[in-house]
Amino acid sequence: MRSRDLHVVQSERWCDPRAKLLSGAAWEQHKIPVCRSLNLSTDFDEQFRYLSAKLENTYQDVLKRLPKNDAVEIVKNNKGKDRIKLSRLEKIDEPDSLKILKDKVDKLMPRIDFPELLLETNRMSDFTDECSHISDNNSRVSGIEVSLCAVIMADACNIGLEPLINEDSPQLTRNRLSWVQQNSLARTVYHGRRGEIHEKYREGQEDQLNVLGLATNAIVLWNTVYMQAALDHLRTQGEVIKEEDEARLSPLGRKHINFLGHFSFMLPQDVIEGQLRPLNMGLNHQTVVV
């Protein structure tokens, strides 16, 4: 038995991914809008030729550079077959100044629940505006951004919709979330760096991997914005920050983000009005408004 030979019915993570594929009349009904959203041809042969040529060109390009790439070797395994061996990356030591800067920035990051992070990131980038109904209908449902963020969290955290359902909130009812999960097509995934949306990728499948990528990008964007606010605060306090240390700060930290157990989809009024959250000032619970 191999991986994926066995599947769990009704499981978000371990189900058969092929069961979610459209086929027959359902595929014919949605083929044009789905292919259009992915910038793909509806002609299989045409798309296959394009991808085959792209793969071949990439392969030939890599092959030409291989002799000059000192980090790659072709060696024999114990069965006499060729395999690729990649050289290990050398560890870059962290200077004490970088360690101190990381610690100070980490402590200043506001504590936040993941649902609020998604909503706040949406206010920064409007990424939910790039989500449309699978029918390609441009109509907009009231409060859809809350429903979309809830579905993103359900899939990205692999918790399903059940913990997020709130029948007292129109945006979080079972019917609304189920409808959004089944019918909304995430068209564009934004990647944030240094507080800016700098690149977009066409995506078309609502599978867990793509949603996880979108959630990760949201974390990167949110962290970047607040890391910059923390750095600005440190500078106002007279801190001298080395450019090379700042360049090595990572926006992938998550200790300040609560992913489970609390599912509030409400933003503070100051954030709704476009302000940033106060920075965290440590054990004495003081805050700095930025």
Q: How many residues does the chain have?
A: 290
Q: How far apart, in whole angstroms, are the C-alpha atoms of residue 9 and residue 27?
A: 22
At 50, list the tokens. Answer: 């394009």
Whether the model clears a pTM of 0.85, i.e. scores above it, the answer is: no
Q: How far apart, in whole angstroms, are the C-alpha atoms of residue 289 and residue 108?
A: 11
> According to DSSP H, which parts of 9-81 are helical?
24-37, 44-65
**Residue pLDDT, tens place only, 76-96:** 988 889 998 988 888 889 999
**Residue pLDDT, tens place only, 232-247:** 999 999 999 999 999 9
Average pLDDT, whole number, for the chain?
82
273 burial (CB, 10 Å; 0-12 / 13-18 / 19+) is exposed
At 273, list the tokens. Answer: 């009005």
Q: How far apart, in whole angstroms, are the C-alpha atoms of residue 220 and residue 216?
A: 6
How far apart, in Å, are the Cα atoms of 215 and each of 56, 84, 102, 238, 284?
Answer: 32, 33, 23, 35, 31
36 burial (CB, 10 Å; 0-12 / 13-18 / 19+) is middle
Q: Which amino acid is at 286?
A: Q
At 109, list the tokens. Answer: 């990051």
**Rounded mean pLDDT of 115-133?**
85
- The position carrying tokens 């944030």 is 192
SS3 category, 287: strand
